Amino acid sequence: MTAHSVVSLAFDGSGLDGSLFTAVTGLARDTRWLNTPLEVWTNAGLGVFAVLMLVGWWNARRRDTRAMALALAAPLAVVVAFAVAEIIKKVVAEVRPCYSLPHDYFVDACPARSDYAFPSGHSTVAAATVAALWLLDRRLAVIAAAFALFEGFTRVYVGAHYPHDVLGAALLALPVAYLTSQILGRVAVPLVNRLRTGILQPLLTAAPIGAHTPR
C-alpha cells in the first residue's frame, strides 16, 4: 500500500461539526483585522501556560513538600498528556479541515497531510495544564482554564482544528494530566523532601512571607 493510499484512508471529521467549523472560520473571514493577532496568539499563547506553572513552582517554595512535588510534576503531566494525544492522533488519522473543507476561509497555512487533526495538540497542552494546576493551586487553574478556552477558540478560528478536535483534546488531557500529576505528586514526596535540604534548596524552598531572618 502506497503512502498516498494510506492518506486517502484517513478519517474525515467534517461530517461531525463541519458546519460549526465553517461558521467560526466565516467569522474569521469577516474579522480579518483579528487574523494576525489571533494567529500569533494561537502559538505564542502556549507560553502563558508555562508561565502559570512557573508561578505555581515559585509559590510552592513557601509551601509544604507535597505542594512542591505537585509543582514539579505539573510539566511532566503535560508532557505525558501530549504524548498520549500524539499516539491517538496517529491512530485516528483525521485529515485537517483544509483538506476536507477546502472552500472555507483559513487563516493558518495548510499543514502536510500527515499532520493529523484529532486531538488538538495545543488544546491538549492547555487542558493538561489546567488539570495539573488544579491539584496545586486552584486560583492558577481557573486562570489557566480561561486561557485554555480562548486557546481552543483560536485553534478553530485560524482553521487548524474542528471544534471536536478541541473538545476531544480536553476530554483526553484533563484526566490523564490529573492522574499523572496526582501519582507523581505522591511518589516524589520523599525525593523532593531530600532535595529541599540539599544543594537544590534555594530552588525548592523559600522562607514564608513575613518570616524574618535571624540576625
The answer to whether residue 93 is domain-embedded is yes
The domain total for the chain is 1
Q: Tell me which residue range forms the domain holding 82.
A: 17-199
Q: Tell me if 138 is assigned to some domain.
A: yes
Domain holding 169: CATH number? 1.20.144
Residue 73, domain member (yes or no): yes
Q: Are 77 and 181 in contact (CB under 8 A)?
A: yes
Q: Is residue 9 part of a domain?
A: no
Domain membership of residue 4 (yes or no) is: no
Q: What is the pLDDT of residues 49-95, one digit of tens each?
A: 999 999 999 998 888 889 889 999 999 999 999 999 999 999 999 99
Close Cβ partners of 141 (under 8 Å, ≥ 6 residues apart): 130, 131, 133, 134
Nearest Cα to Cα of residue 18 among 92, 88, 96: 96
Query: Is residue 207 assigned to a domain?
Result: no
- Rounded CA separation 142/201 (Å): 29
**pLDDT exceeds 90 at position 29:** yes
Q: What is the pLDDT of residue 213?
A: 41
| pLDDT for residue 7 | 43
Residue 113 domain-assigned? yes
Q: Is residue 22 part of a domain?
A: yes
The pTM of this model reads 0.87
